[in-house]
């Protein structure tokens, strides 16, 4: 590196030499080998970055059912609006294309890289390299790209090609479209007739916007809109103020600690089941008792045996979920601090 002693000298050099001249600054420090290794986890289609390791389809299935199926479905068909991972062959020209690893993704390395860096959702980078190989192998199997006796490893990785690789091409808007979109424009008498061909009101998927609704009503009635959403918000605040006393600091700490749960569990008004059941009124509730939620077999058994969530049972569960209920599909490994458990339970107790 060339070094400049002062920024002023650098600025002068920029001014004299123009933007093309390389500028180097005596700032930062060399990264250690261990630091680069800890962060440099990316994988490329040519296999660059792949660690040594392997995993087979059957091991992958077990992991997938435990860690992935709650969002992506048992066969990659997805629940709710989580990404579909399998199927969709031949649908890319349909009205509703289904873009999956098998039908759309160009490279297998993308699967390995993404599962490794970001999955399971909310528990990123918890998988070992062998587990990532196994899950990737299972995803290939779900897409009919390999047979059930297949083992994926760093050695055979680049031999696997995804079916849609050839159907991507570089951005060609400049050649394909630009000429058509830079014509002289017409300013007067450009059309004889104009008809409305589509209306959003017919589709009716816009979220309710109280302020906008009131304004529309005001415009229609010829009167001014004076009410805003603050009124509704204040009612909620007032109602909350009447709640019985739980240590507010503990509840606030619990709300923070609950961040680890929020990816899968909702609480509060309008809470719905996501990849985990909603947790309103969980204290005092029979385990596995939310209708419409698809519990693991382990939870169904706990329900049948009459396990009820009290502060004590919940505390035990949250310390080591997979030990307390063997076979739960909840991927969370448990809170390490007892304080977090107490706080989360206090927080949950505020939702009826």
Of 125-144, binders to another protein (CB under 8 A) are: 125
Residue 223 interacting with another protein (CB under 8 A): yes
Task: Report the C-alpha gap between 293 and 318 in whole angstroms.
Answer: 20
Which CB, 223 or 245, lies closer to another protein?
223
Residue 199 interacting with another protein (CB under 8 A): yes
Please calculate the CA angle 301-305-308 and round it to the nearest 5 degrees: 105
Residue 339's Cα: distance from chain center in Å?
28
- The single residue among 15, 16, 170, 241 that binds another protein, judged by CB under 8 A, is 170
Terminal C-alpha separation, the chain: 63
Which CB, 122 or 334, lies closer to another protein?
122
Residue 222 interacting with another protein (CB under 8 A): yes
Phi, psi of 286, deg, nearest 5: -70, 135
Residue 210 interacting with another protein (CB under 8 A): yes
Please calculate the CA angle 140-143-147 and round it to the nearest 5 degrees: 60
Instruction: Give the number of other Cβ atoms within 10 Å of residue 331's Cβ.
Output: 22
Residue 53 burial (C-beta neighbours within 10 Å; 0-12, 13-18, 19+): middle
Please give the residues from 23 up to 52 whose contact with another protein meets the rule CB under 8 A: 23-25, 27-31, 35-36, 39-46, 48
Candidates 16-24, 51-59, 60-68, 332-340; binding stretch for another protein (CB under 8 A): 16-24
Q: Binding pattern to another protein, positions 224-263, x when CB under 8 A? A: x---xxx--x-------------------------x--xx
Residue 9 interacting with another protein (CB under 8 A): no
Residue 16 interacting with another protein (CB under 8 A): no
Which CB, 159 or 197, lies closer to another protein?
197
Residue 69 interacting with another protein (CB under 8 A): no
Residue 73 interacting with another protein (CB under 8 A): no
- The single residue among 59, 86, 104, 342 that binds another protein, judged by CB under 8 A, is 104
Kindly give, in sequence order, each residue whose CB lies less than 8 Å from that of residue 1, ignoring residues fewer than 6 positions away. 24, 26
Candidates 18-26, 144-152, 298-306, 336-344; binding stretch for another protein (CB under 8 A): 18-26
Please give the residues from 261 up to 300 whose contact with another protein meets the rule CB under 8 A: 262-263, 274-275
């Amino acid at each position: 590196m060339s070094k400049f002693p002062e920024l002023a000298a650098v600025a002068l050099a920029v001014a004299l030499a123009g933007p093309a001249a390389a500028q180097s600054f005596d700032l930062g420090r060399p990264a250690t080998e261990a630091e680069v290794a800890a962060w440099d986890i990316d994988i490329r289609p040519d296999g660059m970055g792949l660690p040594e390791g392997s995993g087979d389809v059957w091991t992958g299935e077990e992991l997938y059912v435990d860690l992935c199926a709650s969002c992506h479905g048992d066969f990659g068909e997805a629940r709710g609006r989580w990404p579909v991972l399998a199927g969709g062959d031949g649908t890319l020209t349909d009205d509703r294309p289904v873009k999956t690893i098998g039908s759309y993704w160009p490279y297998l390395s993308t699967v390995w890289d993404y599962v490794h860096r970001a999955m399971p959702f909310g528990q990123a980078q918890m998988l070992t390299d062998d587990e990532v190989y196994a899950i990737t192998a299972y995803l290939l199997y779900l897409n009919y790209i390999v047979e059930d006796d297949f083992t994926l490893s760093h050695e055979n990785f680049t031999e696997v090609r995804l079916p849609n690789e050839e159907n991507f091409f570089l951005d060609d808007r400049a050649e394909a479209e630009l000429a058509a979109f830079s014509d002289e424009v017409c300013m007067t008498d450009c059309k004889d007739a104009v008809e409305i061909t589509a209306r959003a009101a017919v589709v009716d998927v816009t979220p309710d916007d109280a302020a906008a609704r009131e304004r529309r009503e005001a415009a229609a009635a010829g009167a001014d809109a004076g009410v805003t959403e603050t009124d509704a918000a204040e009612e909620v605040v007032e109602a909350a103020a009447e709640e019985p006393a739980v240590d507010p600091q503990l509840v606030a700490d619990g709300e923070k600690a609950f961040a680890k749960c929020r990816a899968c569990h909702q609480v509060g008004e309008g809470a719905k089941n996501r990849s985990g059941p909603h947790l309103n009124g969980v204290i005092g509730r029979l385990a596995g008792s939310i209708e419409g939620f698809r519990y693991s077999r382990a939870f169904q058994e706990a329900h049948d045996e009459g396990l009820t969530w009290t502060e004590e049972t919940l505390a035990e569960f949250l310390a080591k979920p997979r030990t307390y209920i063997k076979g739960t599909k909840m991927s969370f490994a448990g809170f390490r601090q007892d304080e977090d458990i107490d706080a989360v339970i206090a927080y949950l107790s505020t939702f009826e």
